[in-house]
Amino acid sequence: MKIALIGHGKMGRTIERIAIERGHEIVSVIDVDNQNDFDSDAFRSADIAIEFTTPATAVDNYRRSLEQGVSLVSGTTGWTARMDEVKDMVASRPGTALMWSSNFSLGVNIFFELSKRLAKMMAPFPQYRPYLTETHHIHKLDHPSGTAVTLAEGIVESSPRVNSWTEDVPADDDALIVSHERRAEVPGIHTITWESGVDSIAITHSAKSREGFALGAVIAAEWAAGRSGMLTMDMLMADLVK
């Protein structure tokens, strides 16, 4: 498969290595200093692009890639207030696709499902209140992390007594409190705790490196190539575990 990379930082370079190890060809690498390469035969030859950049540049990257007829897998977070605009962008270009996820790690996506199941189990027990904490490296610009937002939205969706999430403390009694920490080079730690006066129940996902995120992104690209429309990790996971 021919892959274009949009963004060539630490994550982009890790994706590049893993893609080559899996037998794929990197036909174009676009970073801040060669934006004109979107309009190139090399970029257009890609079966799919993998995009990891910044919240400020992601949507424009999607537009420029789709204009060239190249579908994308993207792991950039912090832009989703513009989701309706992006959905319209994909719909206006039949045959193209955008697969976005706050986290492509297969382990994290299993963790998403565990969190939702736990939230449903805790519904009859009002003495427990949920808390979500996330820790990442000091270079991460947005907070809470996209993964934390996905976890929080899953808890709100799954629990009839958690009606919202917030980073503000004090918070409404029915709100999930989300906190963040930026420390050293931590790849990512997410912990969900259901706390009562007598005990607590906690589940944690702790990434050991960027490898899991990068491998998941390449697997997602392999799956998404040739598909069309807005694609999700839920779709991919359903195929993997069926």
What is the pLDDT, as a whole number, of residue 47? 98
Which among 99, 68, 81, 42 is positioned nearest to 226, based on CA atoms?
A: 99
Peptide bond into 170 cis (omega under 30): yes
The DSSP bridge partners found for residue 49 are 4, 72
What is the pLDDT, as a whole number, of residue 60? 98
What is the pLDDT, as a whole number, of residue 240? 84
CB 43 within 8 A of CB 191: no
- Judged by average pLDDT, the poorest of 89-93, 139-143, 232-236 is 139-143
Per-residue pLDDT reduced to its tens digit, 107-148: 999 999 999 999 999 999 999 999 999 999 998 878 999 899
User: Mean pLDDT throughout 48-65?
Assistant: 97
What is the pLDDT, as a whole number, of residue 242? 66
Neighbours of 100 (CB within 10 A): 24
Which domains does the chain carry? 2-104+211-241 (3.40.50.720), 106-206 (3.30.360.10)
* % of residues, the chain, pLDDT over 90: 91
Which among 113, 40, 108, 97 is positioned nearest to 221, based on CA atoms?
A: 97
Does the pLDDT of residue 180 top 70, yes or no?
A: yes
* Residues assigned a catalytic role: 136, 140
What is the pLDDT, as a whole number, of residue 79? 93
Determine the Cα–Cα distance for residues 78 and 49; give it in Å rounded to an integer: 19
Give the largest CA-CA distance in the chain.
64
